[in-house]
Structure 1
Amino acid sequence: MLNSTALLIVILYLIGMLGIGWYTNRFLIKNSTDYMLASRALPAIMVAASLSVNNIGGGSSVGVASRAFGNWGLSAGWYVLAAAIGIIPMALFAPRLRRVLAYTIPEVVGRRFGPTSHLITAVLNIVALFCLTASQILASGTIVAALTGIPLDTGIIIAGLVAIIYTVMGGLWADAFTDLFQWIIIFFGLLIALPFIIGGAGGWQAIVSKVPPAKMSLTGIGFATILSLVVQYFITFMSGPEMVSRIYAAKDEREGTKATLLSALFMALYAFIPALIGIVAFATFPNINGNQALATVVFNLAPSWVAGLVCAAIIASTMSSADSDMLCASTIFTKDIYQRYINPQVSDRAQIIMTRIGNVVIGLVAMGIALFQINIITLNIFAFMLRAAGPFAAFALGLVWRGASKTAGLISILAGSAVGIYWQILEEPYGILAIVAGSVAGLVAFAITTWIERGLGGREATPLFED
């Protein structure tokens, strides 16, 4: 249980998040573009921080420390470093992403390949984002409860309400500001904690003497796993609404490109910090549960004010994902379902209201699921694969393949989704991830369909740009 100093830091952090929501709602939200895309005015530093913090959730802090404590050792840092490498190719797509002036991924797919492709992509995105919102609120609440000693139900309600309130009030402006603050807390909180933890364990030499040499290898997980992680992250970033929306919100094309490269640097600098903490835990507390590695060393080896920073960092890492998933899901429903198919004449003000209502509904239902403690991890993994495996080829190639055929998008979405589902059911044979298998199938289907239709004189997809 946290002492009073550490608990005060966590409380002040949560209050700060609410304050940011109030400020952005009061001074920055004038229309739906302000609310959904932060006026398309975000500088590179804010976009980069948001990209980074949305990827670095609990799995990249508590999870990496746990993997380092376990079989992966120091090479667990590749879990994040692979993301830094995987986001670099996104810089090549960033200018077109920003230039297209879209709100969502389904909108881009629909412009190129028609309403059927658009609607399927929108539904896949909403389902996946809804599930991810539920899991992140559950994770945030679990961490709040574990780190403060309050009941789990209370922790879920606190975490969920804070995320809902500041997202509802400030939209992407609030999300972007809080993400910048959260990145600072995550990075510097763990970085500041590291020397205290190493010193408390007797110094680096004492730690290394208690750890098997194989555990100190930087490539212990193997090059095949590293490559698989890099490919998985690139697919995830290019088909993730919460990631792509940040590029849409950049001030201009150049800022979007700079942001992706800066995000790669941010994540690379962070990558091995939680892994080192996991190694310290193995050397000093070898009999604990691996999931408790980070918390155990922080509370036992670091000062209370450092423990408070780390607590705020861990809560920030999960809450940042929850707010982004929530906002993206409600934006897609408003723009791609309601405005596109139900009420094309909906006013700008009504769009803001509907998106806010969507945030509340998604957040409250997600909180309800969490309160029942329903295990949704398997569903989340499946939904995450489904949103990426199908739309990846249509979205990515739709941006750059000028001569793509009209039906290539739909065929690739169906083929990628089908193969991804099938591969998931087979429990990912040959060690190939379902998201990778489905995405590759979608790419192949896209290319074959385009070549066949062009040979038969079929129609080309609607171009996104004039030149």
Structure 2
Amino acid sequence: MVLQTQAIIIVVAYLIGMLVVGFIVGKLKIKDSSDYMLAGRRMGLFMVAFSLSANNIGGGSTTGLAQKAFGDWGMSAIWYVLAASAAMIPLAYFAPKIRQTMAVTIPEVVGRRFGKISSTFTAVLGILSLFCLTSSQIAASGSVVASLTGIPTNVALVIAGAVVILYTTFGGMIADQISDLVQFAIILVGLAVATPIVIHGCGGWDAISAALPPVQLDFTKIGWVTIIGYIFNYFCTFLAGPEMVSRFETAKDEKTARQASWVSAILMAAMSIFPTLLGLAALATMPDLADGGKNAMMAVTTAHAPAFIVGMISAAIICATMSSADSNLLCMSTMIMNDLYLEYGGKKLSDKKIITYTRACNVIAAVIAMLIAMFGVPIVTMNTFAFGIRCAGPFAAYGLGLIVPKATKNSGILSLFGGTIGFCFWQVLSGGGFKFGILPVVFGCTVSAAVFFIVNFIEWKRGVQPAPSAYIEKTDNSQL
């Protein structure tokens, strides 16, 4: 009981701290819509890098990773996060180009190049996706609060959702990035401190490894096809992911954006080992855990670490989910305002009203997401659909549109629809998993890229003129 009380105190202190950060930032730092949506484009290296990392590390990368290590994946579960780290390396090539666009959202860049239809379609896909992701992360946060405190799940869900709403709505992107830095630091430090203590409590690594079958210690047990598939999956979702792109746009310059990608890769690589080792420690010492080791990380930590460490891990898990929820919420509201409302009739709003309306969108969207979460839709189902639907279509129009200056208008439009259809087809065919070693989002992005290049090749032969540049700043009717 004492153990649970200390854990609750740490988590409550964290939640209150996030609210204070949001309130202070909202009062002192938010002067215009650029501050609210893009942190004034003045964020430094570590702020951007930690924010990128926090957005990539959710519940699946902490408790979910430990569960995979406990189950069939063994030591090779490390690739579930290490693949994301590897995907940040090629993303470093695109990061300065993303910052160079001086855009607010992905649909804005797509619209510059390929027209209003492509922009609107991309925005609708992104908003639909972010609704699902916000809902799933709030649901995950609520489940952790419920398991820690014993209060009903729906009540805990409302508490978690309210905290996300308040600090995101008050402080916008600046508060979001400050909280991301704090959240990832808690995740990394908490796991780094807890892991050696737990391993020692289990008798040391020699005892753990001796209790496990040798195959469970194989770094490549899942196979190189799966590993490479995950790297491609992360690269596709990162390049066309609104919350990732928005972080690069907040960087103070292009050099900072590129360096932040490298630092984020290092941070995620460092983080990947700890949940993996905790999952293996649980497998070695308590192999009969229920639900396939769903709570392996908390179970082994509770058994072998002091109460304070258990509290840190509890806070880390909540941080992992909330760091994704706040980013998804803010990106969704920004798209609604920038790419739909302002694009279709809201161009005469003052800068102050843009902030007010965006804040209102945060509240409304989060409340809807909380209601969706209460219906109990499986989190994995929502996440799989969301990541695919937002990335597969826009992958070529946005990502390749940044590096192919002679791309034609039709190549962007047709790749949007082709990639989306390809994703939906493979999602149904594969049941949302690997088929022939290919995930639905990777298949959709491949179709998107293929359509993009085929149409360009045909139209270049016909002498069709290139679409406008992605790097031309908007001068007409833009208020952001």
**1:267 aligned residue:** 268
Mapping 1:345-360, distance limit 5 Å: 345-360=348-363
Give the one of 307, 312, 316 matched to 2:310. Answer: 307
**Residues 99-124 of structure 1, C-alpha deviations (whole Å, 9 max, x = no match):** 11000000000000000110100000
Counterpart of 2:93? 92
Structure 1 partner of 2:448: 442
Taking the TM superposition and a 5 Å limit, the aligned residue runs for 1:71-220 are 71-220=72-221
Aligned position for 1:457: 463
Identity of aligned residues (%): 48
Distance in 2 (CA, whole Å) between partners of 1:403 and 1:461 is: 7
Instruction: Give, as a single letter, the amino acid of the residue that structure 2 aligns with 1:432.
Output: I
* 1:403 shift after superposition: 0.6
Q: How does 1:358-437 map to 2 (within 5 A)?
A: 358-375=361-378, 377-427=380-430, 429-437=435-443
CA distance in 1, matches of 2:214, 2:377: 40
Aligned 1:242-281 pairs, distance under 5 A:
242-281=243-282
Hey, what's the Cα distance between the residues in 1 that align with 2:378 and 2:64?
Answer: 18
Show the counterpart of 1:17: 18
Structure 1 position 340 matched with structure 2 position 343: yes
CA displacement at 1:463 relative to structure 2: 1.2
Deviation readout 1:362-402 (Å, 9 max, x if unpaired): 11111112233233542431232111110000001110101
Which whole-Å CA distance do the structure 2 matches of 1:123 and 1:434 have between them? 20
Shift, 1:61, TM fit: 0.3
Aligned to 2:436, the other structure's residue is in SS state helix
What is the CA–CA distance in structure 1 between the aligned matches of 2:387 and 2:176, rounded to whole Å?
21
Change (3 A) 1:205 1:379: closer
Quick check: 2:412–2:452 contact (8 Å CA) kept in 1?
Answer: yes
State the one-letter code of the partner of 2:127: I
Tell me, what secondary structure is at the counterpart of 2:463?
Answer: coil
SS in 1 for 2:55: helix
CA displacement at 1:173 relative to structure 2: 0.4
Residue identity opposite 2:173 in structure 1: L
TM-score, normalising length: structure 1: 0.98
Cα distance between partner residues in 2 of 1:375 and 1:298: 26
Q: Give every structure 1 segment of 4 or more consecutive aligned residues whose post-TM-superposition deviation is greater than 6 Å.
A: none
Q: Which AA in structure 1 matches 2:455?
A: T
SS state at 1:88 partner: helix
Q: Distance in 1 between matches of 2:273 and 2:379?
A: 29
Q: One-letter code of the match for 1:445?
A: V
Task: Count the aligned residue pairs.
Answer: 467
Residue aligning to 1:64: 65
Amino acid at match of 1:322: A
Matched residue type, 1:17: M
1:466 Cα offset (Å) = 6.5
CA contact (8 A) 2:110 2:470 kept: no
TM-score, normalising length: structure 2: 0.95
Letter in 2 for 1:426: L
CA distance in 2, matches of 1:416, 1:286: 43
Alignment RMSD: 1.3
